[in-house]
């Protein structure tokens, strides 16, 4: 039941790495004062461009799957969505009651992305085991 790498998965990996690389370059350039104030918005949104291509590629990849693979992806996304919602709500409530630090979205977005991808990976493991 393993999916072999195809052109969509290779392109998605390259786009994700490009997004990571652009995020690092923009972050370092901003920290070093190399981004002019008039171009801050463009520099901030630059890593988003490959991310758009990434999600378009995911949609194309999904269209190449058979029904069982689509069902597996849907169930994995349901697990990811539920896990992310529970963790975000729990953290938000703990922050409201001053049990954990109250961080803004600008500080926590890398952790949210990590949670999304880990949640999807865990969902894949759970659902694939169910359909073996």
Q: Is the pLDDT of residue 1 over 90?
A: no
Q: Which of 64, 89, 105 is the last residue of a domain?
A: 64
Q: Which of 64, 84, 118 is the last residue of a domain?
A: 64
Provide the 3-class DSSP secondary structure of residue 101: coil
Residue 27: strand, helix, or coil: helix
Q: How confident is the model at residue 5 (pLDDT cuts 50, 70, 90)?
A: low
Q: Quick one: average pLDDT of 51-63?
A: 89
Looking at the fold, whether 25 and 41 belong to one and the same domain comes out as yes
| Residue-range definition of the domain harbouring residue 70 | 66-132
Query: Residues 22, 50: one domain?
Result: yes
By mean pLDDT, which of 33-42, 66-75, 95-104, 108-117 is the weakest? 108-117
Closest CA to 121 of 88, 95, 83, 87: 83
Q: 50 is written with which tokens?
A: 């490959």
pLDDT interval class at 70 (50, 70, 90): very high
Whether the predicted model's global pTM rises above the 0.85 cut: no
CB 80 within 8 A of CB 126: no
Q: How far apart are CA 128 and CA 89, in angstroms?
A: 27
Output the average pLDDT for the chain: 90
Select from 29, 64, 99 the last residue of a domain: 64
Q: Where are the alpha helices (DSSP H) in the chain?
A: 7-31, 40-45, 48-63, 67-96, 105-130
* Total count of domains within the chain: 2
Q: What percent of the chain has pLDDT over 70?
A: 96
pLDDT over 90 at 110, yes or no? no
State what percent of residues in the chain have pLDDT above 90: 65
Per the listing, tokens 């493991």 go with 125
CA–CA dist 109, 81 (Å, integer): 16
């Amino acid at each position: 039941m393993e999916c072999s790498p195809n052109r969509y998965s290779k392109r998605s990996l390259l786009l994700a790495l490009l997004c990571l690389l652009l995020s690092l370059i923009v972050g370092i350039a901003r920290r070093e004062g190399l981004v002019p104030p008039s171009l801050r918005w463009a520099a901030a949104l630059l890593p988003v461009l490959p991310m758009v291509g990434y999600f378009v590629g995911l949609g194309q990849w999904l269209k190449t799957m058979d029904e069982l693979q689509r069902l597996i992806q849907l169930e994995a996304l349901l697990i990811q969505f539920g896990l992310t919602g529970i963790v975000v709500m729990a953290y938000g409530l703990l922050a409201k009651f001053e049990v954990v630090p109250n961080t803004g979205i600008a500080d926590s977005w890398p952790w949210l992305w990590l949670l999304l991808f880990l949640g999807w990976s865990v969902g894949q493991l759970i659902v694939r085991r169910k359909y073996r």
